[in-house]
Amino acid sequence: MEQDTEDYPVRDVRAIWISDVHLGTAGCQAESLLSFLKHHESKYLYLVGDIVDGWQLKKSWYWPRAHNDVIQKLLRRARKGCEVVYIPGNHDEAAREYCGLQMGGISVVQQSEHTLKDGRRLLIVHGDEYDNIIRYAKWLAYVGDTLYTFSLWLNRIYNRIRVKLGYPYWSLSAFLKSKVKNAVSFMTDFEHQLIAEARRRGYDGVVCGHIHHARIAEVEGLLYCNDGDWVESLTALVETHEGELEIVRWHAHHLIGKPAQIAAQEAHPVTA
């Protein structure tokens, strides 16, 4: 069921995690993120890396008004008393030089932690530190990033045609990830590495981004949460005031040429 953004009520939650926004790229869905932030308030807001895409900005400058509006929205959120924590990722790694400082009321840190309402402690990292390609073959990551950017361009063209034919949005890269065995194996290995790190450091679970795959799961007895991205899946992780964790999917038709409408919001509560 479709619902106009103006009719959607403002939802107050305890905490929000977002990552992989990739401001500075044509693939960034800044308008949809602005819509999500407009309709969600929280006590804590965690920016879990790759908020700005420095890799692409070095190649060519792309910074429309909506991207600037996202930055202003985050700064305004911090000024109004929300505790905003920024953990830089590999695409905005230049910001890691400012870890330990505050920028406009936003705390910049290498890693963070969050205590859930039930007392469980979660480690918060972007996740690139546990990606073997980034660690040992960064040149390959740059090649992969170029191919991913091309797939997003192709995906936009394809979905414009789908919209004209009356079909819903469909993600090419998500489809390829699900079909390519190595990609599925990579995501599984990534999860287990992060869980191992959380266990080694005495945490009850981990929250990350990096791989653009939103998920809440119990892995080896600990809680694994990935908040997804704002390029394709348009997802955020939230903790409600009741202590439940949810993946919120915030799809908007205007991203591919139609009036601003929310097509779906799918929440998957986890109380374990």
251-252 and 245-249 as β-strands: parallel, antiparallel, unpaired? unpaired
Position 232 scores a pLDDT of 85
Most confident option among 53-57, 176-180, 203-207: 203-207
CATH of 3-264, one of 3.90.78.10, 3.40.50.970, 3.60.21.10, 3.40.50.300: 3.60.21.10
Tell me which amino acid residue 176 is. Answer: L
| Per-residue b or e along 178-205, where b marks 16 or more CB atoms closer than 10 Å to that residue's CB | eeeeeeeebbeebbebbbebbbeeebbb
57, pLDDT greater than 70: yes
Share of the chain above pLDDT 70, in %: 72
Position 224 scores a pLDDT of 97
106-108 and 83-86 as β-strands: parallel, antiparallel, unpaired? parallel
Q: Using one digit for the tens of pLDDT, what is the confidence trace for 106-144?
A: 999 999 999 999 999 999 999 988 865 444 445 344 545
Q: What is the mean pLDDT of residues 80-103?
A: 96
**What CA–CA distance (Å, rounded) separates 270 from 35?**
24
Q: Using one digit for the tens of pLDDT, what is the confidence trace for 3-47?
A: 345 567 899 999 999 999 999 998 899 999 999 999 999 999 999
Q: Which of 75, 108, 89 is nearest to 20 (CA)?
A: 89
Position 244 scores a pLDDT of 97
Whether this prediction's pTM lies above 0.85 is answered by: no
Position 191 scores a pLDDT of 93
